[in-house]
Each structure stands twice: as C-alpha cells, then as structure tokens.
A and B are shown apart, each in its own frame.
Chain A
Amino acid sequence: MPINKVVGSFDAAVKDFFDGATVLIGGFGTPGGCPSYLMEALGKQGAKDLTIVCNNVGFGKELMKVVAMFMKVPDWWYDGGELTNNRQVKKAIAAFPVLASPLLVSPFEKQLRDGEVEIDIVPQGTLAERIRAAKAGIGAFYCPVGPGTIVEKGKEVRVIDGRKHVLEYPIKADFGLIRAYKADRLGNLIYRGTSRTFNATMAGAAKVTIAEVDEVVEVGELDPESIVTPALYVDMVAVRPEEGRTQIVQKISKEEQLRK
C-alpha cells in the first residue's frame, strides 16, 4: 500500500496529545518557522501539564498586538505564549523564556513569577544539540558551554583537552511540532529561508514528528539533492489553508507594493 503521511486536518494531527506530554516546538520566535496551525489545534485539543521545548516560549496574542506596531504580524501567528495563556504549559525547556525587553511581559514570564510554571533555561546551542542527540541516539555529551555559570549547576564537569566541559543529556520528547515549506506523501521535507532553524533540528527527535507545510507535492518532485529532512524522520504532514501559505503572504505584500 502506498505510504501516505498526510493527515486531513490539524485537529487530526494533534488528537493523540495527552496530559503531561513533552512537546518540541520548532521555530525561532518570529512568525516564520512557527508551526502556528498545529499550535492552535493543540490549543483547542486542550492537553495540559505540557513540557514545551522551544527556543523562545513566545508572545501570545495580546503581546503580538504590541509587536505589530514594529513589524508586520500575520493573523495566523500562534505561539507558545497562547498555550501558556490557556494554562496548558507546566514547564518550558528554552533558551529564551522571557522577552528581551523587560517592558514586554509575556504570559510565560507572568506565570513564572506567580510560580505557576517552571523553567529549565538552556543555552541555545546546547538546546539544539540536546535535541539532535535525542534524534541521533547519543547517550549524553560533554559540552564546553556553561562552565562557571548557572548552567553547570548540578552537572558533571570534566576537563577535556584542557578545557572544562559540562555533561549534557538528550531531551527526549513525545511529540515534535515543526514548520516546513513543502512535503511529499512519504514525509520528505524542504524548508524556506531561516525558517529551517529549530524545525530541521527537531524533525525526528521526538517519538512522533508532525510537520505543518504549505504544500504536498508529488513524490519525485522534491530534488533528492535538496531534501533537508528525509522521510523517515516524519510521521505526519498537515497542510496549511491558503491564507497561511508563504506564497500568499508574499503576493499580498507585492500587491501592497503596487498600490504605493
């Protein structure tokens, strides 16, 4: 029977999420690269006590309105801030748990100050490598980032080649939500621009990897030389509605340009 990893809806893609699950969330912190439709579906699905693993925990819809004063923000943007608002998050493992400006207090920061959520703060590269280690079956690794800082607390530190290293463990997750550009029914993925970011790193690192894409193309259409994530890392593919697709975003901005 032909393999077909494409599911009919985002709701169907997240229906098996359970309370207490650990979820990798792709992206960097900006709208591009954010698996927004999957996150929104997870918001509706309602699984609670989640441990979310992400670079930036996110803004939430209220703060996105503030961001919109400085840059274009798409209507479909939905991030970990909203999951936090929904009280679905118990803990975050992240490099950017709070926003750079102290004036922008995210839902996660608020709940952290109120003692309602926990944080495990991780240097960005260590976060990426701990996720990669889970994908690659590495038991643990010594990392030169963090000696002499808060990061080494409670961890084994060993001098290797004259330099202090901290022992770091893989982050094992139940689900990975990622954003890619195009897929085929086998689950091969390509990305677009800097939206590759944590998405390609997370693909295959959780027990179940779900990709949110603009388009599913025929098998053979993706150039084998250019496929970034080979099919075996991906379990499900869900397709964005037209208004969330990259081409449409660009088309609108081109029309805006013509009007000027």
Chain B
Amino acid sequence: MAEKERLSRETIAFRVAREFEDGMVVNLGIGIPTLCLNYPTPDKEILYQTENGCLNFGCNATPEEADFDLVNAGGQMVTTKPGMSLFSHDESFAMIRGGHIDLCVLGVMQVSEKGDLANWLLPERGIGSIGGAMDLASNAKKLIVVTEHTTKDGKPKIVHECTYELTAVECVDMIVTDLAVIDVTDKGLVLKEVAPGWTVEEVQELTEPKLIIAPDVKEVQLM
C-alpha cells in the first residue's frame, strides 16, 4: 500500500506561522521552526529574537551579503534590518528566562500528553547538546513544537510519558505535526486539525495517548 501523503516541512511551518500575532516577539529553533520566518502575512509585524544576541534581524543573507558577524542561532548568516538591536548572551537569556518571549517554536524528539518535551538527546547517540532549548521551552509565554508525527520506523513521537531525557516539563502548548494540529490542555491532548486525506482515527492510531477530538475538528487549511 502506498504511503499517504503527509504535510511537508514547509507546510508545517506555514501552519505554525498562522499562530503568529501582530506585534509578537518570536524565537524560532533550528530546522522546521526557522522556516516559519517565510510565512506570516505581511500585515503582521513580528519581532524575531535569536538567542545568540539579536532582536529584529532581517532575512537570510545572500552569499554577497554574508557577514561572519551576523548569524542566527542556527549559524546561518542573516541580514540587518531597520530597528534591529544587538545584545550579549546574558542579556539575551534575561529576555528568555524573564518571560519576554511571546512565542517560541522548537523541534521534538518526544512530547508527552502532559506537554513534557524531550528534544536534545537521542538515546542511540548517547551524547547531546542542550543549547538554549531548556531555557526557551520552560520560559516562553507560548510554546509550539513541530515534528513528524512518527519516528522513521513508524513509532509515535507523541507519547504517554517521555522515555528520552527531558528538555522541560509541562511546557508545550501546541503540537503541529505532518498529520495534525493538537492543543495541550489540562484535560489532555485535543485534536483540532488533521492533514488532508487523513482521518481522525488514522491520526489516533499513530498517537500513543488517547486524543480528545475537538467538536469542530477540521482539515488543516493549506491556503
């Protein structure tokens, strides 16, 4: 049986960016989260913070614009922008720890039904890098995590309890995967949207905890 199509990385980023509100301060993790930069509608003014010490940076630099002294947290060279500010690492994490980041988007290795996040140490690798993930996950006002719904060998990444080393406990507010959009609530995980061509039952099948189906559950809108 041919595998059904799942949402692409770009589509996941597109869907996440719809959560960005005008005037928000947003920090984006490495990978799919960084792609979100491309998608908020132009009527929204968003201030992007990068933990290596910059607020309101511009787009990724072309080779001609590349400057070693202007990079994002993924090490990609970016451009300047009017209204940009620069700061040291302790200041940057005062912003983060102090709750001044409205929204953070991070990647996932496992996420639990209580919203515990594990995203820094793969057991099979045995050694990992925490980076800024713990600080961001535990202190952003809202945390959205993005992921493929299952691991490469088809196991759920949304689980009852994380078995991997944790990044932070009860920190996740929303999960956007290549199959679904799920809210983390006090009552449990609420399935809000499913990818086109997928049923609620199929998504549940690939999710360890029992999902609460939102009364208005709908297809992820791709436009």
A, B bound? yes
Residues of A whose CB lies within 8 Å of any CB of B are: 28-33, 55-56, 71-72, 74, 95-100, 102, 109, 112-113, 119, 121-126, 128-129, 131-132, 143-151, 181, 191-201, 228, 246, 249-250, 253, 256-257, 260
The answer for the CA separation of A67 and B92 in the assembled complex, in Å, is 26
The proximity string for B residues 122-155 relative to A, scoring 1 for CB distances below 8 Å and 0 otherwise, is 1001111111111100110000000000000000
Q: Once the chains bind, are A109 and B127 in contact (CB under 8 Å)?
A: yes
Closest residue of chain A to B93 (Cβ to Cβ) is: A125
Complex partner residue of B69 from A32, A112, A129, CB under 8 angstroms: A32
Q: Once the chains bind, are A250 and B127 in contact (CB under 8 Å)?
A: no
**Contact residues in B for A192 (Cβ distance below 8 Å):** 69
**Contact count band on B:** 35 or more
Complex partner residue of B130 from A123, A181, A201, CB under 8 angstroms: A123
Q: Once the chains bind, are A197 and B68 in contact (CB under 8 Å)?
A: no
Closest residue of chain A to B77 (Cβ to Cβ) is: A71
Q: Once the chains bind, are B127 and A194 in contact (CB under 8 Å)?
A: no
Q: Once the chains bind, are B97 and A145 in contact (CB under 8 Å)?
A: yes
Q: Is B53 an interface residue (CB 8 A)?
A: yes
Complex partner residue of B166 from A95, A144, A149, A195, CB under 8 angstroms: A149
Q: Knowing A144-B138, A148-B168, A149-B165 are in contact, say whether A30-B68 is a contact too (CB < 8 A).
A: yes
Shortest distance in angstroms between B72's beta carbon and chain A's nearest beta carbon?
A: 8
The answer for the CA separation of A191 and B96 in the assembled complex, in Å, is 22
- Segment of B4-12, B33-41, B82-90 engaged in the interface with chain A: B82-90
- Segment of B59-67, B175-183, B195-203, B213-221 engaged in the interface with chain A: B59-67
**Contact residues in A for B128 (Cβ distance below 8 Å):** 98
Q: Once the chains bind, are A197 and B89 in contact (CB under 8 Å)?
A: yes
Q: Is B54 an interface residue (CB 8 A)?
A: yes
Shortest distance in angstroms between B28's beta carbon and chain A's nearest beta carbon?
A: 15
The answer for the CA separation of A148 and B165 in the assembled complex, in Å, is 10
Q: Once the chains bind, are B66 and A72 in contact (CB under 8 Å)?
A: yes
Shortest distance in angstroms between B47's beta carbon and chain A's nearest beta carbon?
A: 16
Q: Once the chains bind, are A196 and B127 in contact (CB under 8 Å)?
A: no
Q: Once the chains bind, are B69 and A195 in contact (CB under 8 Å)?
A: yes
Q: Is B51 an interface residue (CB 8 A)?
A: yes
Shortest distance in angstroms between A73's beta carbon and chain B's nearest beta carbon?
A: 9
Complex partner residue of A145 from B77, B127, B129, B139, CB under 8 angstroms: B139
Q: Once the chains bind, are B135 and A148 in contact (CB under 8 Å)?
A: no
The answer for the CA separation of A249 and B68 in the assembled complex, in Å, is 9
Shortest distance in angstroms between A188's beta carbon and chain B's nearest beta carbon?
A: 15
The answer for the CA separation of A98 and B129 in the assembled complex, in Å, is 6
Q: Knowing A143-B97, A149-B167, A194-B52 are in contact, say whether A124-B70 is a contact too (CB < 8 A).
A: no
**Contact residues in A for B51 (Cβ distance below 8 Å):** 124-125
Closest residue of chain A to B65 (Cβ to Cβ) is: A253
Q: Once the chains bind, are B64 and A257 in contact (CB under 8 Å)?
A: yes
**Contact residues in B for A122 (Cβ distance below 8 Å):** 130
The answer for the CA separation of A30 and B131 in the assembled complex, in Å, is 14
**Contact residues in A for B88 (Cβ distance below 8 Å):** 128, 196-201, 228
Shortest distance in angstroms between A178's beta carbon and chain B's nearest beta carbon?
A: 11
Q: With a 10 A CB-CB cut-off, give which of A71, A113, A122 has the most chain B CB atoms.
A: A71
Q: Once the chains bind, are B67 and A124 in contact (CB under 8 Å)?
A: no
Q: Knowing A28-B52, A121-B129, A125-B96 are in contact, say whether A147-B89 is a contact too (CB < 8 A).
A: no
